[in-house]
Structure 1
Amino acid sequence: MSLSAGMGDQKIFDYHEESQSEKLARKSKETPIFPVAIALCVGAVGFGAYKFNKRGNMSPSVFLMQLRVGAQGLAVGALTVGLAYSMINEYVLKKK
């Protein structure tokens, strides 16, 4: 499906089904910090899987809830740093 502008044949919006790898590549080009956020989240999950056996007498649901909050915190922190970096480049340093 495509949307044409006025009388011309120029396409404004070209829609096609994206595969997961195409979507990841597009998001990486639009926001370079996005893969870093994903890597931090995957690292937190890997760390949690490693530490799961050494959780002591903590219940699995509490451990997994804390792990989820930590992984989300890392992802949001990485995206915040990326947003601050892009805002500094655009508004303070005024790169063109």
Structure 2
Amino acid sequence: MSSYDENESKLMRKARENPFVPVGIAGFLAIVGYRLMKMRSRGDTKMSLHLIHMRVAAQGFVVGSMTIGVLYSMYRDYIVKPREEKAAKNK
């Protein structure tokens, strides 16, 4: 049995749990699209070198987005949640 609603896709569930997932996907697609359009005016640069630069830029954006997402999740779980629990105990 799944732990989420049957009508909800896994991507939508992940996007709600961690808002940096769609940011990473959108950034990846934007970088790849930009570099593919720029490929026409690459001049005398080799195709393989251009593709390597595109891959490194896209992967760097995704890794950066994942890192920010993990830091946000840790902040939420270890700083915000204990404060809320402590405030609830004091009431």
Query: What is the TM-score when the length of structure 2 is the normalising length?
Result: 0.74
Q: Separation in 2 of the partners of 1:30 and 1:95? A: 20
Give the aligned residue type for 2:74.
M
- What is the match of residue 5 of structure 1? none
Residues 1:25 and 2:15 aligned together: no
* Aligned equivalents of 1:22, 1:56: Cα separation in 2: 43
Greater helix proportion: 2
Q: What's 1:81 paired with?
A: 68
Letter in 2 for 1:56: G
Structure 2: which 5+ runs fail to align? 85-91
- Identical positions, percent: 39
Compare the two structures and name the one with the higher strand fraction.
1
Q: Is the 8 A contact 1:89 1:95 kept in 2?
A: no
**Higher RCO (C-alpha under 8 Å, 6+ residues apart):** 2
Listed as ranges, the gaps of 5+ residues in structure 1 are: 1-12
2:44 paired residue among 48, 57, 68: 57
**Cα distance in 1 between the residues matched to 2:71 and 2:83:** 15
Shift of 1:95: 5.0
What is the number of residues matched between the two proteins?
80
Q: How big is the shift at 1:46?
A: 1.1
Q: Matched residue of 2:9: which SS?
A: helix
- The alignment's C-alpha RMSD in Å is 2.2
What residue in structure 2 maps to residue 6 of structure 1?
none
Letter in 2 for 1:37: G
